[in-house]
């Protein structure tokens, strides 16, 4: 083998140091070839390891950079997390200084996690407490409503006798010096009745239990009847009530006549109450007619004491009154206008007032009604006073409380109706099987057989005779139950004589 075939370094050293005579020695040549191979493989390994080293150095730098970036992101994330937690825990504007358990940045994440765990635990406890508090509040609200309905029932029953008898006493012959006491008795009874009805109504509105009915109603008659119902009180206070009804008003519209009546009655009776020797004007004007609805503007204007500007918003709040002295004189709960407002709000409307202290007030609102094709007069409510006479009408009065029987019987007899009585549902069934009646006035709660059961039995053999429920309860469930078992209408006790008359006239054949 020539020297040039050996590794460069070995070839150089061999040519310099190897004596000429040994150059051809086979054993030596073999040895040199072996050494040359070792040199070359060393060289190769060196190159490989150098390459490997340079590659891992690069990777190492890349990984380190990546790690640094990750650490930075982690630190920033933890900072953001802490900021978010602080802002989450903030009750008002000032962020509180939340102490995280770990100060060491490396343990920050663990700190944040344990802080979050603690927060979750606290939230769960709070949630449980809230559920318990909500249940307690619901229970209290139910107790309040139960109390109201039981108490109202208990109060209404004797009040029925007081209001009814005081109205009758006024109309019967009496000595002149008794008139003042009787007027006071009648007014107090009416005020008390008004108050109880307002409180119950307010309770119902608060509980969201008001449902608006949809009936064909004759607006002219409704408003005229309300005017007439307020006439006696207006006369007593030297007031005149004028009614302005738009000629363009449709004969009938569809809506809740009872609730509209309640709103107008409240406004008119307030106008009468806060005016003396003055004028009250009730206006009902057609505003616009659409394809399926009619908008009607109502206003009640008086020339009474008026309301200071500063108090005009307040009077629509519950139990709010502009002038407590006046209230002491005339009574009132301060609930009337808040009920009016809520009843209108529930029908997408609102009530407004225009008034100046000393020169009267004008309350006004607009209401949408559905159109109806009905225009026959016979569906119309009889005009108040038009037939304060029930001559020839046979009425069966089913009632167990003696006082109630006495009052209703007296009223009905005064209007010339022929009255038969039954003290429970079973007796009523017997009478109805023997005889025909034009109308049945049916109490609901009675011994032996209640009004619901009696009505269910009556409807098995008589589907048409109007049965009007009389009850001291105003709960909607009870009303519904009465209709479900076949009753025709509903009158809550104590009723004003006018309500009784109007309801009977509605069904008189
Ligand atoms: P109440 O009449 O039972 O006190 P309302 O809610 O009906 O309750 O009325 C609240 C208050 O608004 C009245 O107490 C009175 O101060 C004032 N008010 C209402 N209507 C009139 C009116 N027509 N003229 C003067 N003040 C009125």
**What would the pLDDT profile of 433-462 be if each residue is shown by its tens digit?**
988 899 999 998 888 999 999 999 999 998
If 0-12 CB within 10 Å is exposed, 13-18 middle and 19+ buried, where does residue 454 land? Answer: buried
Shortest-distance Cα residue to atom 23 of ligand 1: 271
Instruction: Give distance in angstroms: CA of 183 to centre of ligand 1.
Output: 22
Ligand 1 geometric centre to CA of 351 (Å):
13
Alpha helices by DSSP H, 96-178 = 108-171
What beta strand segments (E) does 201-345 contain? 215-217, 240-245, 253-255, 279-289, 293-302
Contact indicator for 392, 415 with CB cutoff of 8 Å:
no
Mutation to probe ligand 1, out of 264, 270, 279, 362 (largest number of atoms < 8 A from CB):
270
Residue 100: what pLDDT?
A: 57
Ligand 1: residue whose CA is nearest its atom 14: 321
pLDDT for position 495: 72
Q: Quote the CA–CA distance of 265 and 216 in Å, as a whole number.
A: 19
pLDDT of residue 310: 87
**Does residue 315's CB lie within 6 angstroms of at least one atom of ligand 1?**
yes
Q: Which of 280, 314, 336 should be mutated for ligand 1, with most atoms under 8 A from CB?
A: 336
Q: Is 6 in the pocket of ligand 1 (CB under 6 A)?
A: no
Q: Is 198 in the pocket of ligand 1 (CB under 6 A)?
A: no
Written as six digits, the tokens of 46 are: 């060196």
Per-residue pLDDT, 345: 93
471 lines ligand 1 (CB under 6 A): no
- Give the containing element (helix H, strand E) for 422: strand 418-422
What the block records as the tokens of 80 is 């953001």
Q: Using a 6 Å cutoff on CB, does residue 307 contact ligand 1?
A: yes
Ligand 1 geometric centre to CA of 270 (Å) = 6
Q: Give dist(CA 77, CA 325) in Å, integer.
A: 67
Q: What is the pLDDT of residue 325?
A: 65
Task: State the distance from the centre of ligand 1 to the C-alpha of 108, rounded, in angstroms.
Answer: 65
Burial profile 196-225: b = 16 or more Cβ within 10 angstroms, e = fewer: bbbbbbbbbbeeeebeeeeebbbbbbbbbb
Distance (Å) from CA 323 to ligand 1 centroid: 8
Q: Is the CB of 281 under 6 A from ligand 1?
A: no
- To test the pocket of ligand 1, the residue of 334, 352, 355 to mutate (highest count of ligand atoms within 8 Å of its CB) is 334
Ligand 1 touching residue 32 (CB < 6 A) = no
User: What is the whole-number distance in angstroms between the Cα of residue 334 and the centre of ligand 1?
Assistant: 7
Q: Whose CA is nearest to atom 19 of ligand 1?
A: 270
Task: List the residue whose alpha carbon is closest to atom 16 of ligand 1.
Answer: 322
- Which atom of ligand 1 is nearest to 322's Cα? 16
Report pLDDT for 366. Answer: 96
d(Cα 188, Cα 202) in Å, to the nearest integer?
21
| For ligand 1, mutation pick of 201, 314, 322, 358 (most atoms within 8 Å of CB) | 322
Q: Determine if ligand 1 sits within 6 Å of the CB of residue 323.
A: yes
Burial 149-184 (b: 16+ CB within 10 A, else e): beebbebbbebbbbbbbbbbbeeeeeeeeeeeebee
Give residue 320 CA to ligand 1 midpoint distance, Å: 8
Q: What is the pLDDT of residue 320?
A: 64
pLDDT at site 380: 45
Give the closest residue (by CA) to ligand 1 atom 2: 332
Mean pLDDT by 10 residues, the chain (509 residues): 80 84 83 89 89 84 89 82 72 53 62 81 91 90 76 75 81 80 77 76 74 84 83 89 92 88 91 94 94 94 93 81 64 80 92 93 96 60 54 89 83 87 92 90 90 92 90 73 88 76 78
Q: Are 440 and 428 in contact (CB under 8 A)?
A: yes
Ligand 1 near 443 CB (within 6 A): no
| Domains by residue range for the chain, with CATH | 219-376 (3.30.565.10)
Rounded Cα gap, residues 383 and 261, in angstroms: 14
Ligand 1: nearest atom to the Cα of 335: 6
Find out whether 500 and 397 touch, Cβ atoms under 8 Å: no
* Whether the CB of 263 sits within 6 Å of ligand 1: no
Report CA(271)–ligand 1 centroid distance (Å): 8
The residue whose CA is least distant from atom 7 of ligand 1 is 336
């Amino acid at each position: 083998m020539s020297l040039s075939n050996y590794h460069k370094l070995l070839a150089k050293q061999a040519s310099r140091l190897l004596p000429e005579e040994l150059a051809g020695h086979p054993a030596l040549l073999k040895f040199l070839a072996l050494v040359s191979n070792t040199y070359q493989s060393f060289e190769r390994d060196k190159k490989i390891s150098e390459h490997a080293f340079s590659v891992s150095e690069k990777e190492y730098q890349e990984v380190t950079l990546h790690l640094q970036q990750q650490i930075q992101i982690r630190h920033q994330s933890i900072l953001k997390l802490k900021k978010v937690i602080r802002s989450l825990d903030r009750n008002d504007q000032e962020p509180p200084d939340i102490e995280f358990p770990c100060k060491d940045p490396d343990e920050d994440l663990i700190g944040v996690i344990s802080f979050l765990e603690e927060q979750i635990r606290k939230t769960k406890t709070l949630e449980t407490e809230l559920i318990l508090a909500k249940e307690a509040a619901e229970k209290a609200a139910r107790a309040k409503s139960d109390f109201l309905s039981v108490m109202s029932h208990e109060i209404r029953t004797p009040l029925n006798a007081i209001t009814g008898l005081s109205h009758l006493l006024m109309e019967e012959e009496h000595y002149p010096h008794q008139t003042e006491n009787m007027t006071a008795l009648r007014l107090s009874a009416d005020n008390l009745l008004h108050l109880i009805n307002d409180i119950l109504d307010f309770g119902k509105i608060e509980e969201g239990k008001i449902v608006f009915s949809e009936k064909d109603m004759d607006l002219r008659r409704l408003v005229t009847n309300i005017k007439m119902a307020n006439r006696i009180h207006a006369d007593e206070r030297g007031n005149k009530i004028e009614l302005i009804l738009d000629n363009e008003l449709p004969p009938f519209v569809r809506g809740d006549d009872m609730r509209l009546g309640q709103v107008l009655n409240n406004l008119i009776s307030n106008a009468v109450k806060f005016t003396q020797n003055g004028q009250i004007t009730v206006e009902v004007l057609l505003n616009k007619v659409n394809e399926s609805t009619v908008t009607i503007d109502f206003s009640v204007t008086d020339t009474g004491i008026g309301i200071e500007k500063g108090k005009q918003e307040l009077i629509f709040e519950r139990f709010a009154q502009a002038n407590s002295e006046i209230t002491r004189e005339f009574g009132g709960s301060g609930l009337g206008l808040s009920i009016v407002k809520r009843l209108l709000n529930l029908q997408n409307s609102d009530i407004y007032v225009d008034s100046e202290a000393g020169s009267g007030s004008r309350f006004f609102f607009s209401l949408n009604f559905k159109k109806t094709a009905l225009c026959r007069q016979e569906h119309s409510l009889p005009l108040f006073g038009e037939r304060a006479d029930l001559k020839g009408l046979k009425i069966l009065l089913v009632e167990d409380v003696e006082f109630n029987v006495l009052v209703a019987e007296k009223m009905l007899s005064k209007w010339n109706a022929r009255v038969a009585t039954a003290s429970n549902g079973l007796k009523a069934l017997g009478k109805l099987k023997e005889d025909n009646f034009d109308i049945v006035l049916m109490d609901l709660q009675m011994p032996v057989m209640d009004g619901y059961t009696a009505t269910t039995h009556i409807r098995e053999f008589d589907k048409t005779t109007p049965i009007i429920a009389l009850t001291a309860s105003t709960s909607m469930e009870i009303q519904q139950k009465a209709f479900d078992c076949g009753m025709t209408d509903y009158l809550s006790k104590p009723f004003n004589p006018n309500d009784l008359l109007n309801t009977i006239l509605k069904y008189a054949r």
